A = this chain, B = another copy of it.
Amino acid sequence: MTKKEAIVTAATELFAAKGFAETTTAEVAARAGVAQGTLFYHFKSKENILLAVFESVMVRYQTGMAAATATAANGMAAVEALLRFQLAFVEEHSREFRVVMRDLPSHLGGSDSPQREQVRQRQATVLAMLENALARGRTDGSMRPDLPATATAHILRGLVYGLVRHRLLGLIDLPPLEEDLIDFCRQALQAPAAGPC
């Protein structure tokens, strides 16, 4: 592990445990086993370390999502695969997501900063994958034909995000919800059963 990677790892652990604001650059340096100055050799600022944590996890997230849809038999299966992947991935990388969800929004700088644009791009990509899967399901008949793809993509994204956030940052313990969530979405999305009337 290079020192740069060690810094991101150490920062992830500390930010997740104590929060961004409550973690000093001295602590990050100490845990990473580097000098304080090394942080600022590799990163322009403390906030850029936060952004690196985000980038590092989002690259893996999006790769996984793309893989999840690739093998699905139809649109509905693709959506289900996306949902399952997202929930599992977030569970597995809970520390990173904790940091990203709690601290990133507070530290994205002005509305025209390049950091904001970078994050916006990532979000748009996630959204597009959902929308594609939905459009596919509408076409191949595995979902209701009147489904509004864009709006539903936003809804699904909000749903996953809201649940994950409560699991990671919430003060209330959530029961396991994966299967209930999948059922809920399937009910909402699937074409009405063509009963043999």
Query: Interface on A for B, CB 8 Å cutoff?
Result: 19-21, 101-103, 105-106, 108, 116, 119-120, 123-124, 127, 144, 148, 150-152, 154-155, 157-163, 165-166, 169-172, 174-175, 177, 180-181, 184-185, 187-189, 192-193, 195-197
- A156 to chain B: closest CB distance in Å? 9
Select A19's contact among B106, B123, B166, beta carbons within 8 Å.
Answer: B106
For residue A116, which residues in chain B have a CB less than 8 angstroms away from its CB?
171
B residues in contact with A150, CB < 8 Å: 175
Q: Is A119 a contact of B195 with CB atoms below 8 Å? A: no
CB distance from A105 to the nearest CB of B (A): 5
Question: Are A151 and B123 in contact (CB-based, < 8 A)?
Answer: no
* A196 to B124 Cα, complex, angstroms: 44
Contact of A102 among B106, B151, B177 (CB under 8 A): B106
A175 to B195, CA, bound (A): 35
Task: Take A162-B162, A195-B197, A197-B196 as given contacts and tell me if A124 and B172 are in contact as well, using a CB distance cutoff of 8 Å.
Answer: yes
The distance in angstroms between the C-alpha atoms of A150 and B180, with both chains bound, is 10
Chain A contact residues, majority secondary structure: helix
The smallest C-beta distance from A157 to any residue of chain B, in angstroms, reads 7
Looking at the assembled complex, report how far the CB atom of A134 sits from the nearest CB atom of chain B, in whole angstroms: 12
CA distance A37 to B176 in the complex (A): 48
Q: Which residues of B contact A175 (CB under 8 A)?
A: 150-151, 154
Among B19, B123, B155, B172, contact of A159 (Cβ-Cβ < 8 Å): B155
A160 CA to B166 CA, complexed, in Å: 12
| Other A-B pairs beyond A152-B180, A155-B177, 4, CB < 8 Å | A102-B106, A158-B161, A161-B166, A196-B197
Q: Which 4 A-B pairs have the closest CB atoms?
A: A162-B162, A158-B162, A158-B163, A151-B180
